[in-house]
Amino acid sequence: MSETKAISIAVIRRLPRYYRFLGELLKVGTIRISSRELSDRMGLTASQIRQDLNCFGGFGQQGYGYNIQELHDEIGHILGLDKKTEAILVGGGNLGRAVANHMDFDMRGFKLVGIFDHNEELIGQQIKGIKVCHTDLLEEFCNLHHPQVAILCIPKTATRLICDRLIPLGIKGFWNFSHYDLLDKHSDIVVENVHLSDSLMTLSYKMKEKFHE
């Protein structure tokens, strides 16, 4: 892949789906698959799949299709899943606890190394084997462990101050559940916003369109 070639965000957002589908095929012992067969399973056109994968180089062979293990490994490498980026979670309440307990960070390229909250009732509790520390200790912890990613499960009103503290400490990426626009002030970071309410409203639209409600 060319260093200067821009890949559209739409293609990038499809890569985890390819990775997941290929992983499922590996679990049942499938060795190879054609773009046509993959398209039938994923609900995409074969042409779209070939175009997406060609953005990162040629993976398939004419008359053979794709070697599933090789393609799965290559997409994992493209996504950065073969390295472990250390991450902290800020917000140990219900949402933060759910994210920590149910997300397999190790399989997704990350290692959760710290959890923080300002609520005294949560301090000292264990979430997925990690003790919740007070946010007053963020600077000390980050200077010692050098995490690069923060997962924000905190109210929108608290996000700006936390972000202003974390960026000077070396945090470069944010998985942001807070609904606060971090890029409005900080343009030199990487942010993936998660809006659960948007997803629910999208479901509402799809129901309305499909069933003419």
**How far is residue 163's CA from residue 155's CA, in Å, rounded to a whole number?**
12
Phi and psi angles of residue 174, each rounded to the nearest 5 degrees, phi first: -130, 130
For the chain, the domains span 9-78, 85-197
Chain segment 4-24, per-residue pLDDT in tens: 467 899 999 999 999 999 999
Chain segment 19-49, per-residue pLDDT in tens: 999 999 999 999 999 888 989 989 899 899 9
Single-letter code of the amino acid located at 130: I
Whether the Cβ atoms of residue 106 and residue 84 lie closer than 8 Å to each other: yes
pTM above 0.85, yes or no: yes
In the structure encoding, which two tokens stand for residue 57, read together?
């180089």
For tokens 């606890």, name the residue.
Answer: 97
Which CATH number is 85-197 given? 3.40.50.720
Q: SS in 3 state form for 109-137?
A: CEEEEEEEECCCCCCCCEECCEEEEEHHH
**How far is residue 77's CA from residue 161's CA, in Å, rounded to a whole number?**
34
Which CATH number is 9-78 given? 1.10.10.10
Whether the Cβ atoms of residue 109 and residue 81 lie closer than 8 Å to each other: yes
